[in-house]
Amino acid sequence: MPLITAGTVVLEQGVCGPGWVETSGNQIVGCGAGAPPRPADVDLPDAVIVPGFVDIHVHGGGGATYTGGDAAEIQRAAGFHRGHGTTTTLASLVTAEVIWP
């Protein structure tokens, strides 16, 4: 399980510095302020670790759109957001043309 330390970590209880986050696969299994419970696998003294962002109004991203109904383009838009720290998006389709099967 990788353990990452950083100069600043945003936790539920607030912003702390330094702090740590431990992961297993794609899950956070532990986090805290101050010294980690064991030596870090990755030390990022000048970095800020924040929770994944949630964007509740998204038409697309990275030049791709959610509104056209093309699966590859939707995946590209979602991938763009994932690559920039957004873990959850809500596709905003209200301005899109209605597409009937």
Interval 41-88: pLDDT, tens? 999 999 999 988 999 999 899 999 888 889 999 999 999 999 998 989
Residue 94 has pLDDT above 80, yes or no: no
Residue 8 has pLDDT above 90, yes or no: yes
Residue 39 has pLDDT above 90, yes or no: yes
Let me know: does 49 contact 9? Beta carbons within 8 Å.
yes
Spans of all domains in the chain: 3-49, 53-91
How far is Cα 67 from Cα 87, in angstroms, rounded to an integer?
20
How far is Cα 81 from Cα 97, in angstroms, rounded to an integer?
23
**What are residue 41's phi and psi, to 5 degrees?**
-80, -35
Q: What is the pLDDT of residue 34?
A: 94
Q: What is the pLDDT of residue 38?
A: 95
| Paired strand residues for 60 | 65
SS3 97: coil
How far is Cα 8 from Cα 50, in angstroms, rounded to an integer?
9
